[in-house]
A and B are shown apart, each in its own frame.
Chain A
Amino acid sequence: GAGVSQSPSNKVTEKGKDVELRCDPISGHTALYWYRQRLGQGLEFLIYFQGNSAPDKSGLPSDRFSAERTGESVSTLTIQRTQQEDSAVYLCASSLTRLAVYNEQFFGPGTRLTVL
Chain B
Amino acid sequence: GENVEQHPSTLSVQEGDSAVIKCTYSDSASNYFPWYKQELGKRPQLIIDIRSNVGEKKDQRIAVTLNKTAKHFSLHITETQPEDSAVYFCAASGVTGRRALTFGSGTRLQVQP
Which residues does A use to contact B, with CB under 8 Å?
A: 31, 33, 35, 41-45, 48, 50, 56, 58-59, 91, 93, 95, 98, 101-110
Contacts and interface: CB of A to CB of B under 8 A. Distances in A.
Contact of A108 (B43, B46, B91): B43
Interface residues of B, number: 27
B100 A33 contact: yes
Given A91-B44, A107-B44, A108-B43, A45 B89 contact: no
A75 to B, nearest CB: 14
28 contacts: A33-B100, A41-B105, A41-B106, A42-B89, A42-B104, A42-B105, A42-B106, A43-B91, A43-B103, A44-B103, A45-B101, A45-B102, A50-B99, A59-B100, A93-B101, A95-B99, A101-B95, A102-B95, A103-B99, A104-B34, A104-B46, A105-B46, A105-B101, A106-B46, A107-B36, A107-B45, A108-B43, A109-B43
A79 B95 CA distance: 29
Interface of B: 1, 6, 32, 34, 36, 42-46, 49, 51, 89, 91, 93-96, 98-106
